[in-house]
Amino acid sequence: MNRLAEIRKWVILIIIGFLLFWAYQYFSKKEDTSTVEYNTALIQQQIKNVGKLVVTEGHFAEVLTYKDNKKYLGSLISFEKKALVVVNADVTVGFDLSLIEYQIDSVNKVVTILKIPKEEIKISTDLKYYDTESSRLNEFTGEDYNKIAKIAKANIAKKVANSSLQKNAKNRLISELSKLLIITKTMGWKLQYDGEILDQETDLNRKIKG
């Protein structure tokens, strides 16, 4: 009888132990899941905060001389029209980070940037005409003004390409993405872009600027 009671006692202890182990596993797993969900939500929020329009502005100016000759009688007679044009342009270089594409791997704790939107360059020109000369046989037309506007915009675009404006815009882009790098590192996650794990801002700088 005592032996039977002893067996019952051990069976009860084993059952209690099993229940305690199961409860521990259940609640630990639930806690881990909650932590992963919280961290994932936090990273998604950070990406949302980063996802704004990053814009760098600049002003450019130039003086353009426009000339056009209309020839008659096999080039024996020509009529010239010309104008001195002062071009002022406001330029913006922007990255719309709301268009950034990413993937979150909560199991391996990796955030992968799939695509960074390309820069958008907008040129707004203001043209003022001086010393305009023409003749009745070669007058200024709408086609001339459209041609001048096109030439002016192309010249400004070249100046933008040779300036530091695009470089400054990329620096601001890197600064915004660095916030995501900081939050992932702080939480023990990894940030990946173009097949490489980014560990510091210099990695971002190298990948984006080439």
On the CB side of 27, CA atoms within 13 Å amount to: 5
List Cα–Cα distances, 131 to 56, 60, 65, 86, 203, in angstroms.
Answer: 35, 22, 10, 11, 53
Q: Which pLDDT belongs to residue 197?
A: 93
Is 192 or 135 the better-scoring residue by pLDDT? 192
161 or 30: which carries more pLDDT confidence? 161
pLDDT, tens only, 166-182? 999 999 999 889 988 98
Give the pLDDT confidence of 31-81 residue by residue, as tens digits: 445 666 767 777 788 778 776 888 899 999 999 999 887 776 666 677 788
DSSP string computed for 115-141: E-PPPEEEEEEEEEEEEEE-BTTB---
Confidence of residue 17 (pLDDT cuts 50, 70, 90): low
Give CA–CA dist 197/141, Å, rounded: 58
Question: For residues 100 and 115, is the Cβ–Cβ distance under 8 A?
Answer: yes
pLDDT tens readout for residues 73-128: 666 677 788 899 999 999 999 999 889 999 989 889 999 999 999 999 999 999 99
Is 70 exceeded by the pLDDT of residue 148? yes
Whether the model clears a pTM of 0.75, i.e. scores above it, the answer is no
Listed residue (114, 72, 112, 117) closest to 94, CA to CA: 117
Answer yes or no: is pLDDT of 11 > 70.
Answer: no
Give the span between the Cα atoms of 90 and 57, in whole angstroms.
Answer: 7
Higher pLDDT, 37 or 10: 37
Ranges of each domain in the chain: 38-209
